[in-house]
Structure 1
């Protein structure tokens, strides 16, 4: 049997819709970074200040969006890893060799995306962390869950250490950062006025070193969610939802029960009802990180159960189409956003409300475009390139080409 990607009949549509939902949330979170200097303000310890409607949008994002969808996407990557490896194994293909090529191709996309367009690329992080999944594919589900839980506990415990630092020390650190506002002004000026090559060169000197320093810490929660997705894939939950419905309902109840007090506490600190002074921001970061795990799993399970209803499957098909072309749509979100805010000179001039509106417009366009594209083509353009690099030969992309190839292979058997 020749090397080939999965066929239409083998695709798990529920996963496509959840992936589209995750991509939707990720773009909402990323949008402020596309139109405002969120990155450098965070580096200099300068908080984004919002008023009016922008303030309440920021609160909503903090409670229900931030970190939740990135975590969900990481889970789906681990699940996708299991599906890819198990299908390659059943076909008798060199699954490790194929997967390494697949990961290296993803790393190539990520590096180009990171250098040429945007500091917030997640593909290079996924690619590097994804290599370590090879050590866990044959391990027991219990082992995967223990490793995932341990990594998440260690990561969040390490984040919480900041809360033990005396307030006076934190005040001195923040005071030193405030004096570096000249760097922030230069950053905004370059984003607003520089040509493309100057802009890229400046970004390589300011953004890339920070990204590389934070690469290892960023990989820890990502890899933990990879393992949870891998464990779910190995347990066969999405392959047989009917059999696991009772289990999913229990998980939905448990994750919701955990999420409610965590999000409630996060709301108290975010709204300033509880004030820990200089440590307020750090408490919010820890609560956001911890709540992202339970709320992410709740979103996944609740949506999975909802999609057992065929009417919801039909209603959310455009989201599924966007999810099937997740790589293409993720990269296009950056290309479109950079073109609008940096290319047209809107950088720093758009508020959170307007940025969110633009985000929704782009997402609707992507859902419509993905739906029409997939009527004629089996893959998105970047998915096609990714698959071609993975299988080391050009893949048929038009649906009729795939049918023709299948008929030819059948005739040769």
Structure 2
């Protein structure tokens, strides 16, 4: 029995590049929370006010970035789940035990991440939601799609209910939230700018981590829905031989574009206050961010997949593929580096959205360069190596015996 993970020649370049693209988008979304008290604003439902260039960056992020990239990442997780399970079955492994160890390792990474570093961790959510994928692996594609669509309908109905709450009630809630925000913000900022590491972690356990745990189920709804879409795509073989499904991708790109266009326009009208719903404005923006998060996710995936049929685009975007192949390492390092810069060096609360965005580009460019260099000599990223070693209950060989070329139409793990 060949008890080893999938590497090198068995990867799909298209999936790695899309994963790298999603990783960069997630970093852009996360960056404001790394350098500013976004948690407190979100907790109390307060809008962050931006001016000048920051205002337009925020508008752009709302329209094209926020809630558009974690959905891509979640889709790829579901796709990777199918590939992982099917490959493990081919090799005669006990697939459920193998996958559950993989999920447990992911949960441990996430737990350490959320407790020791940052409230915005997504790994623990993926791990918890990922357990339920086992119940769908053998189901029909139609069943997966029905469940996925149903979950998204439920999620967006919940967002819609917020918009339908009477304005008087929302005004009372807004006043109470504003008081709580003003009361707690000063303490929060004081801890983030002056406390030592142990005090900082202790404070976060009582404020951020508890909220994250309580929010686990609602946070899992869109994640699991996208898992199921990815699982369905894997079972349909859409990425196994893309050339056999070009007509589908082209048609799907146009459908998602036509759906996204009016949704993005409405979101822009709301974000620019051209369409003014008063106290319900933020709830309406949240609803349309969610709707565009799904439609633009699929538009981005289908567009990139078609672009990557051309070898010129494969060459241009290959560094994204290297970053995507080391997604776990790069995701965790984004938090570590950002925490050191903003909390460790005392820049927390003093960084503009423009500066944070520029730093994103610089850090991610360095990550692409480092990933490309690292993968010339090693089979996995450092954290990927730990993850796989835990999954297979033995240390995996890390260094490459020889250089392996990545091919377009072979299998990849999640």
Note if 1:82 corresponds to 2:82: yes
Structure 1 equivalent of residue 359 of structure 2: 358
Three-state SS of the structure 2 residue aligned to 1:347 is: coil
- Distance in 1 of aligned mates of 2:346 and 2:183: 21
Three-state SS of the structure 1 residue aligned to 2:2 is: coil
Task: Extract unaligned runs of 5+ from structure 2.
Answer: 405-414
- Distance in 1 of aligned mates of 2:45 and 2:386: 40
Deviation at 1:234, TM superposition (A): 0.3
Note if 1:227 corresponds to 2:248: no
Per-residue deviation, residues 260-308 of structure 1 (Å, max 9, x unmatched): 0000000000000010000000000000001110100000000000000
Structure 2 equivalent of residue 317 of structure 1: 318
Note if 1:95 corresponds to 2:105: no
Three-state SS of the structure 1 residue aligned to 2:187 is: helix
Deviation at 1:63, TM superposition (A): 0.1
- Tell me if the contact between 1:130 and 1:223 (Cα under 8 Å) persists in the aligned partners: yes
- Distance in 2 of aligned mates of 1:47 and 1:135: 39
- Distance in 2 of aligned mates of 1:264 and 1:231: 30
Structure 1 equivalent of residue 342 of structure 2: 341
Structure 1 equivalent of residue 407 of structure 2: none
Structure 2 equivalent of residue 406 of structure 1: none
- Distance in 1 of aligned mates of 2:390 and 2:380: 14
Task: Extract unaligned runs of 5+ from structure 1.
Answer: 404-413
Structure 1 equivalent of residue 399 of structure 2: 398
Three-state SS of the structure 1 residue aligned to 2:244 is: coil
Per-residue deviation, residues 187-209 of structure 1 (Å, max 9, x unmatched): 01100110000000000001111
- Distance in 1 of aligned mates of 2:95 and 2:178: 51
After the TM superposition, which of the residue ranges 289-298 and 41-50 deviates more from structure 2? 41-50
Deviation at 1:164, TM superposition (A): 1.4
Structure 2 equivalent of residue 124 of structure 1: 124
Structure 2 equivalent of residue 12 of structure 1: 12
- Tell me if the contact between 2:147 and 2:225 (Cα under 8 Å) persists in the aligned partners: yes
Per-residue deviation, residues 240-266 of structure 1 (Å, max 9, x unmatched): 111100011010000000000000000
Per-residue deviation, residues 322-361 of structure 1 (Å, max 9, x unmatched): 0000000000000000000000000000000001011110
Deviation at 1:402, TM superposition (A): 9.9
Which residues in structure 2 correspond to 1:240-259 (within 5 Å)? 240-259=241-260
Per-residue deviation, residues 188-242 of structure 1 (Å, max 9, x unmatched): 1100110000000000001111111111000011000000000000000100111
TM-score by length of structure 1 reads: 0.97
- Tell me if the contact between 2:260 and 2:296 (Cα under 8 Å) persists in the aligned partners: yes
Q: Give the ranges of 4+ consecutive aligned residues of structure 1 lying more than 3 Å apart after TM superposition.
A: none
- Distance in 2 of aligned mates of 1:26 and 1:347: 20
Three-state SS of the structure 1 residue aligned to 2:395 is: coil
Structure 2 equivalent of residue 188 of structure 1: 189
Deviation at 1:401, TM superposition (A): 7.8
Per-residue deviation, residues 4-59 of structure 1 (Å, max 9, x unmatched): 00131111110000000000000000000000001111212321110000000000
Root-mean-square deviation (Å) = 1.0
